[in-house]
Amino acid sequence: MKGIAVFYKPKGWSSYDLIRFLKKELKEKKIGHGGTLDPQAEGVLIIGIKKEGTKQLTEFLKGKEKEYIATIVLGAQSSTYDDEGEITYLKIEKWPTQEEIKEVLNNFKGEILQTPPPYSAIKISGKRAYELAREGKEIELKPRKVFLKEVLLLNYSLPQSKGAGLLAEIKVKLKVGSGFYVRSFANDLGEKLNTGAFLKELIRTKVGEFSISEAISPDDFKRGNLELYFKAYGWVQGVGFRFFCQKWAGLLGISGKAENLEDGGIEIIGQGNEKNLQEFLDKILEGPPAAKVEKVFYYFRKPQTSYLGFEIY
């Protein structure tokens, strides 16, 4: 496997846990990721495999928006801005209404200043902020400009009665630019609502054009439940490219399709295990003798539909 792949980082795994898993499975040292996810978060993590993939990470992800579903607790504060830290419960005399929450959420939209969480991976004098925080050292993280394009309140659950130790929950959908910390957003939201708040759950649902429905879980990978999406341009139509793909798919036990596109390109989807898909990719990158591949775009993902054989359109 080489190039870009869309993976699902499970809750409880660090981003590097997923890299470590892939290094072991692929027996490959050069693997990187684009955009760290906290261990308690889950969802889309874009992986670059071998030199081809790690070089593409910046190109694929530069300036790309990220989308999250966040569950935020109201009525308490956390030292880490999430449920892993020391929780301080607050006595709330009046819980905000749904309309008040929506109004405050909308005030966060656009370019804002945000201070990263004290327990973050940002380096200060060569050490991670979370390492210094765990040593009990005082750290000062400077606010930075971040961008919140879209925020939508999905749900608001009030506690049954007023009082200390009672918690409310909201669920929001966020579309953000690079460098945005959802934990800091949760903490800042609590301050604006006068309720305190911390992040309970976080799911990254999209990075650029790559969505959670495409994300390969570790179990998918082990079962060989993978799909190669490939698009090529150049002299690729009228040269037997689709039949060339069908031949190799049959030899390698790969299902999928090959289709000529109206813009002069060819789209190929292959489904199978990692080893066979990689061999299939190597063959179609070379193409049939009469073809001339000038521009390609491909990545690995979870199958989006099911094919019985290899079809030509």
Which are the catalytic amino acids? 38
* Alpha carbon distance 72, 82 (integer Å): 9
* The two three-digit tokens of residue 154, written as one number: 């999905």
Tell me the CB-side half-sphere exposure of residue 188, using CA atoms within 13 A: 17
Closest to 47 (Cα-Cα) out of 11, 19, 14, 17: 19
Percent composition of the chain: helix, strand, coil (DSSP 3-state, to 5):
25, 35, 35
176 strand-pairing partners: 66, 148
Judge contact between 257 and 303, C-beta under 8 A: no
Closest to 200 (Cα-Cα) out of 14, 72, 37, 69: 72
Judge contact between 280 and 310, C-beta under 8 A: no
| β-strands 42-49, 197-207 pairing | parallel
Dihedral angle over CA of 194, 200, 201, 204, nearest 10: 50
